[in-house]
Amino acid sequence: MNKFLRTLIPFDIAKGMAITGKHFCKVFFTANRRKVPFHIVSEYPEVVAKVQPRYRGRLTLLKDEQGEIKCVCCLACEKICPTQVITIEKGKKEGRKMPYPVRYDFEMERCIFCEFCVESCGFDSIILNHQFELATYNREDFSLGMEGLSQNMFEPSPVGKFSVADD
């Protein structure tokens, strides 16, 4: 008899609907209210997504106090890179004892953002920054270098400028 009643009246469905209804009401009555902790969806392009301090974004060369690139061409990052995206050409610069990179090419399309390069660097001259909007419209834009290329490694990715609607 009990089983028959349970089959007749869908208690199980009602239980599920109660949970869904509870969550619906929670969100419905607090919609458009800021700082409600259980709103887990953020409106991404308008609200900038927060990343953690250790986030692994795009590779960036660091400069010292004089505005010079810190890299000394030890090629540790080039050797450790699992996908071989870094190519460094050694050179000299006047007034500097250590070697200076003539070219530091970084092909972002193949980069897997593992941070092995930063880990291997003994001079703290590279970091992975917090940029994650890395899509571009042209394939050439993925080839980054120190200068002269279409994309400079020190400038932000162009998509950051386009992703938010102009209006």
Partner 1 sequence: MFKNEEMEINLGPQHPSTHGVLRVKLRLDGETITHCKPVIGYLHRGVEKICENQTFFQGQVWTDRMDYCSAVANNLGWAEANEKLFGITVPRRAQYIRTLLNEFNRLASHLIWLATHALDIGAMTVFLYAFREREDILDMNEAFCGSRLTTTAFRIGGLREDLPPGFEKMARKFLAKFPTCLEEYENLLSENRIWKKRTVGVAMLSAEDAIALGVTGPVLRAAGVPYDIRKAFPYAAYAEMDFEVPTQTAADTYARYLVRMAEMRQSARIIQQCLDGMPEGPVMAKIPKILKPEVNEVYHATEAPKGEIGYYLVGEKGSTNPYRFHVRAPGFINLQSLPKMAEGGLIADIVAAIGTLDIVLGEIDR
Q: Which residues bind partner 1 (CB under 8 A)?
A: 10-13, 15-16, 19-20, 23, 40, 51-56, 80, 82, 112-116, 119, 128
Cα 4 from Cα 74, distance rounded (Å): 78
Residue 69 or 117: the one with the smaller Cβ distance to partner 1 is: 117
Residue 67 or 122: the one with the smaller Cβ distance to partner 1 is: 122
Helices (H), strands (E): how many in the chain?
A: 5, 6
Cα 53 from Cα 68, distance rounded (Å): 25
Cα 78 from Cα 120, distance rounded (Å): 10
Q: Which two tokens stand for residue 108?
A: 């972002």
Q: CA end-to-end span of the chain, whole Å?
A: 65
Which residue in 144, 147, 136, 72 sits closest to 107, CA to CA? 144
**Whole-number minimum distance, CB 141 to partner 1, in Å?**
23
Q: Quick one: which H or E segment has residue 145?
A: strand 143-145
Eight-class DSSP state of 17: H
Compute how many other C-beta atoms are within 10 angstroms of the C-beta atom of residue 144.
Answer: 24
Residue 20 or 32: the one with the smaller Cβ distance to partner 1 is: 20
**Whole-number minimum distance, CB 12 to partner 1, in Å?**
4
**Whole-number minimum distance, CB 56 to partner 1, in Å?**
4
**Whole-number minimum distance, CB 39 to partner 1, in Å?**
11
**Whole-number minimum distance, CB 67 to partner 1, in Å?**
28
Residue 1 or 49: the one with the smaller Cβ distance to partner 1 is: 49
Residue 17 or 102: the one with the smaller Cβ distance to partner 1 is: 17
